[in-house]
Structures are given as structure tokens and as C-alpha cells.
Amino acid sequence: MQASGDTLSAEELREIERKYDEGAATRAVPPAMALVLKVVALSFAVYHFLTAGFGLPADHWHMGWHLAGLFILIYAYFPIFHSKGAYDLKVSRFRVGNVPIPDLVLMALGVAAALYLPFAWRGIAWMGVEEQTFRMGNPNTWDMVFGIILIGTVLDLARRTLGWILPAIICVFMAYALFGPVFPGLLQHPGVKFRTFVSSMYFPSEGIFGVTLWVTATIVFHFVLFGVVAQRTGLGKLFIDNATILAGRYRGGPAKVSVVSSAFFGTISGSSVANTVSTGALTIPNMKRLGYPGHFAGGVEAASSAGGQITPPIMGAAAFIMAEFLELPYTTIVIAAIFPAMLHYLGVFTVVHLMARKLGLEGLPKDALPRLKAVWAEGWANLLPLVGMLAVLFSGYTPYMSAFCGISLALVAGMARWRNPLTLVYPAAFLGYVLWKFAGGGFDPVIAALLSAATLLACLSPQPRITLPEMSETLETGVKYALAVGAASAAVGIVVGVINTTGIGFRLGFMVTSGAATMAENLHTLISIGGWELASIPDLTLFLSLILIALACILMGAGIPTTALYIMLVSVAQPALAQLGIPPLASHLFVLYYGVVAEITPPVCTSAYAASAIANSNPFRTGVSAFTLGLGKVVAPMAFVYAPVLLFTATTFEPLFFAYAAASAIAGVFALSVAVVGMWKVAVPVWGRVLLALAGLVFIAPDWSTDLIAVAICLPVVLQQFLGLRRGAVQEAGA
């Protein structure tokens, strides 16, 4: 039941998040089991926090402990089926702490399988297990047993947390590996023997214990935790208040606040749904009160929040995995992502502004805006953890070290105060750590001084102190958010293993490019007259290949977390882009962007559904609104594929060509935005919207010839707009 007016209560917002966010819906457990699971979750968080700061154990141990924690918490929190009542508290002789006995058995088997590999790494004499080096490619009976258990339980973890889509895709890949001879044509291969398959899925550097799980256990988890802790200490509120001050007073103010606050919030949030619920709780009711339709208000918030996955510096943690895959500095990825993210938010902002003009909406009254001085007087300390984390990150230290420093500063800013001497144990501990690292050469003088100053300043925060029990709940929540990502990353390791074993990525790439070439030849005859051609066959082949790959990325991205989705797409779709001669960084960002577009593409668009629940609007219509609002995210990948200079990574960066390519992309986004809304200076007729939509697509490729064609297409609409504006002025003067 909705609270009074358009505003939802905190419990209603939590219920929406539980419904649409894979990490928020968990099984109810009695107090005793809740305490046990809290201890496990906090141990899980503390283990990752301490290893980030003091050094990682061997990879097989680190991933083994991470996977064991996932098995315990997921089997305890997530029921076998997501049916009505499955999350309720029940009493039965076949349950322990409301966890069914079969789930406990699977939990034990999963933990055993996860820890068998590290324990057997150096061999286990009494079991007759040789050292791991001698078993690679020749697994013994124990390897087969635990390998089969691990594959089955990892798929079950993904199914419980994310539903059937991801496990179904993985099962198709497994079938392809095992039954290669039955597949037709180019897809046919000799097949992988079952023993070889289990071995490659189980042993490190491939499959489940490969780079996907390593990156999640070593980097992704830490930034998910940082985002939750930073939001709890007040950084999210600081973002929203400043966005309201910046954009609230202008035409369509609350919608522009949604765009700006989601862009800010996206820098720390790894979840589009969490972003939607956190910022949308304020912005969506305000938009509706101002006069925006409910489906549009929800679409604005969903499109803006989904942009957090492509917004530097964190990008839903995908940037760290990308840096690992491409073997590039993290800063290169962040710099490359700046303009595409700006293009996305520019598109949303433009649609919002034009819709406000169409509906005749004004901004928020001055007395409804927060006061800049009061906002910063209260919340300035919340910015210190983000500044400290980014300073460490951009100084060349590891991502997990920067996350360790960011979390530490967030704990100090939230829990330590000079007026409460006992709480100074937190800053004292971190200061001791910083000095220890500096003395050992681990921190340079600048970073050591910055972190020390930030620690001391954080103790001066004027906000109410967060108690230890409250912070423990926050850490537990952070662990719950990371469960689905961890399960998905472990399961996607199977896809990566299959691709490495069978080479299907290059086979699919060849099929896409050859199919696009055939389509291009047929299309070329339709757009050519004598010796004149609108586009050459190679240009058409590239464009059609990009369309096909983009559609595949969107379809595969339905309901899968950003990090796991990127890993899967980069293994499957990126080889096709490489065959087209697209630079590696542009191709990796291309598949990431179109995978994230699935977040706001019907029929599976969880962010839009969460927004529709807050807006009390039709979910599908909200999803359509979110997709049309996110056209900047759709256009941006095409733009930087045709003009890699937009990623700032060209060997010889040319400012003039960058300015031209950027102007062309912005013109394309603006034309599409006007076409979507049907409003610019005055209303745009249907024929004008069609012309602008076509022009927007032509503008994508920055080339003088195509841009001149796009301008020619736009010209009738421009004339109609200025004639309509003059006609309106004459009528107003006559009245």
C-alpha cells in the first residue's frame, strides 16, 4: 500500500528494491540463524577488506575462500524457487533456521568443492592426490567428483540469484563444447572429452577459477562494498542535494535533478536498481507533482540510473575488468569513457528539457531548493572517502588498495568524532596503517600526507555518528549486494572456458561478418544508381555488423549484472568486432555499452520496472520511455567506433578532429531527441520527426559527405521551426 500522496515509505522502497534487485531479496530467517549469517557475512567483508590492504593470499586460496562464502550465504538466503511465500519464515523438521536440509547439503558440497582445489594444490598424500601441476589435463577421481559438483552448484547459485536466463545461456555453451560434432556448418568441431571439459572448468587460469572470479574476488567486491558504505555515510544524499541546487530551478527542474544526481551517484554505485530506488524516491514524486506523466518520470530515472554503469571512475566495476583484459592502465579506461558517458547524459538531459517545454513545465520554487551553504556545512566530510580513493587509484596503486583506503576513510567519516574519544580508535588504526606503508615505501609522501589529512578532517564531520551495530548492518547489506555478482562471475567463467577451448568466439565473429557482407551486397544494389552509391559495400558491412552485434549484446544482457555481462560479451561478441578492424578499447566499450542498454530495454528492464513501481506507472511503457531517453547510450558506441578519437586514445590525438567528431555525435543525439519528443522551438510534425530520426542516424559517422547529407535532411525541419516561431510571434503581437 502506497503512503500518502506520491511519496513512498522507506519499507515500500525496500520492498521495491527486493523485488527488482537481485541482491536485495533474501529468505527470512529466525534470530539465531540471522546471527550466524551476520557473522559469516561480516567475516566475508572483513577478510576481503584486510587482504586488500595487507596483501592477497595465493590466487587459489583467495578465490576458494570467496567462493566458499558465496555458497554459504547464497544457499542460506536464496530459496530454490522464487515463488510466492518462498521467502517467508517457516517452521519444519526438514529445515534448520528456515534453511531446507537439501540446501544445507548443497551448501556443504559447494564449500567442499570450492576448498578442495586449494587444499589439494600441493597434493594430499592420504587421498592419493598428486600435486596440482601433475594433474593438469589428467584429473583424478577426486578432481572429477569435486569438479562436477562445482560446475553444478555454481550454475545453481547463478539460477537462484539471477533466474534462468544466465544458466540457460551457459548450458548452451556447455552443450556446444561436449557435442561439437552434431552442430552444423562452421560451428561444428571435434568436441571436448568430458574429463577434459571438467578439468578445464575446474583448474585455475581457465573456467570457474579463472580471471572472472579473480577480478570479482579481488576488485569488484571491494567497490560494491565501498558504494554501500559511502551511501550509508551520506555521500548519496550530498550528491542529490547538490544536483537539486544545480538543476532544480530550471525548466523541468526535478527531471534534470534526476539526471544530474544519477550521474553523481553512478560514480559510486554498482547497481542500477539501487541507484534508481535511492534517487528516484525523491525525484520521481517531484517530477509527477510538476506535471510529468508517471511513465516518463520513471523512464527519466531509469535511463539516468543505468548510466551509472558507464560513468567513470568506477563504471559498475567493469572498468577494472576491462583494464585486466586489455592490459591497459586503469586511467586509460576512465579517460576513454568520459565523452561517451557525457553523450548519454546529454541525450537524457535534452529529452527532459524538450519535454518540459512541450508540457509547459517550470522549475522548482526557490524555497524548495536546498541551501548550498547548509548542504556543504553538513556533508562536506562525506566527499573525503571518494577523494582519497580516487587519489590513490589515479596515483598508480592497485584498485583494491584504493578501495581499502576509500572504505577506511568512509568508516572514519561515519563513525569517528573528536568529541567521542573512544571512537578515535578508527582513525588511529588507519593513520598507523598509512605511516606503516609510508615507512616501508608502500606509499609515497604525497599520498601518505593526503590520506593522513583526510583521516584527521573526517573526524570533524558534523553529521550524527553511525554506531558500530548500524555499520555492521551496512557491511552485511554490502555483502548481500555482491552475492549475485559473485555467483554470475563464477558461472560466466564456464563460458570463458568453453570459448578458450573451442574457439567459438572467432567462429561466431566470422558468421556475423560474412552474414553482414551478404546483406550489404544485396542492400548496395538498392541504394546505387549507375556509378553513384550512397554507401560502399565495406561501409554497409561494418554498419550492419555493428547493428547485429549490438542486438545480440542487448538480448544477452537481459537481467545479468554488468560485470558478469561484460565478461561474457567480450568473450563472445568482441572477436567479431576485432575481425572488422575496430581497435580493442573501442570494441570492449562497444559491447559493454550495448550490454548495459539491456537495463532499459523492454521486455526485461529491471531498472525501469523498479522506477515504474515508484511512479505507479505501466512497467512496459516506462521501459519504452527509458529506452527512448537513453538514445545517447545507443548512439555513443556507434560514434566512437567510427571515430576512436572520441575515446582520447588515438596515438596522435588531433583536437580539431575530436571537436568535429564530437559535434557530429552531439548533433545526432540532439536530432534523435527532438524526434522522440516532437518539440524544438515549436511542435514538430510527424514528417519532421521522421526526417530528424533519419538525420540523427546519419550524423553518427563523422564524415563530411554523410554530415552534409544529414544537414540536408534536417533543413526542411529547421525552416519549419523558424517559420512556426515567427508565425507564433506574429499571432501573439496581433492578440
From 187, 206, 225, give the residue that closes a domain.
Answer: 206
Range with the poorest average pLDDT among 16-25, 214-223, 400-409, 711-720: 16-25
Burial annotation 535-573 (CB, 10 A radius, 16+ → b, else e): beeebbbbbbbbebbbebbbebbbbbbbbbbbbbbbbbb
Average pLDDT, stretch 372-376? 91
| Residue 624 confidence (pLDDT) | 86
Total number of domains in the chain: 2
Does residue 22 fall inside a structural domain?
yes
- Predicted confidence (pLDDT) at residue 26 exceeds the cutoff of 70: yes
Domain closes at, from 180, 206, 232: 206
Beta bridge partners of 683: 679
Tens digit of pLDDT for each residue in 265-305?
Answer: 766 665 677 677 777 777 788 788 878 888 888 888 888 87
pLDDT tens readout for residues 667-682: 999 999 899 889 888 8
Residues whose CB is less than 8 angstroms from the CB of residue 430 and which lie 6 or more positions away in sequence, other chains included? 408, 409, 411, 412, 451, 455
Radius of gyration for the alpha carbons in the chain, expressed in angstroms and rounded:
27
Of the residues 143, 177, 206, which one is the last residue of a structural domain?
A: 206
pLDDT digits (tens, 9 = 90+) for 537-548: 888 888 888 888
Per residue in 131-177, pLDDT (tens digit) is 877 787 788 889 999 999 999 999 999 999 888 888 988 999 999 99
The pLDDT value given to residue 353: 86
Q: Tally Cβ neighbours within 10 Å of residue 464.
A: 9
Q: Which domain holds residue 189?
A: 16-206
Q: Is the pLDDT of residue 208 over 80?
A: yes
Return all residues near 705 (Cβ < 8 A) that are at least 6 apart: none
DSSP string, 656-697: HHHHHHHHHHHHHHHHHHHHHHTBSSSBPPHHHHHHHHHHHH
Banded model confidence at residue 583, pLDDT cuts 50, 70, 90: confident
pLDDT surpasses 60 at 3: no
Question: Does residue 105 form part of some domain?
Answer: yes
Q: Is residue 712 part of a domain?
A: yes
* Cβ contact 304:259 at 8 Å: yes
pLDDT at position 255, please? 80
Quick check: is 497 in a domain? Answer: no
196-219 average pLDDT score: 85
What is the overall mean pLDDT for the chain?
85
Residue 718: inside a domain: yes
> Domain for residue 655, yes or no?
no
Is residue 638 domain-resident? no
Q: Which of 290, 149, 271 is nearest to 563 (CA)?
A: 271
Report helix angle 655-677 to 631-642, nearest 10: 150
Over residues 60-88, the mean pLDDT reads 89
Distance CA 484, CA 466 (A): 27
* Residue 517 cell numbers, joined: 557482407
Q: Note whether residue 602 is domain-resident.
A: no
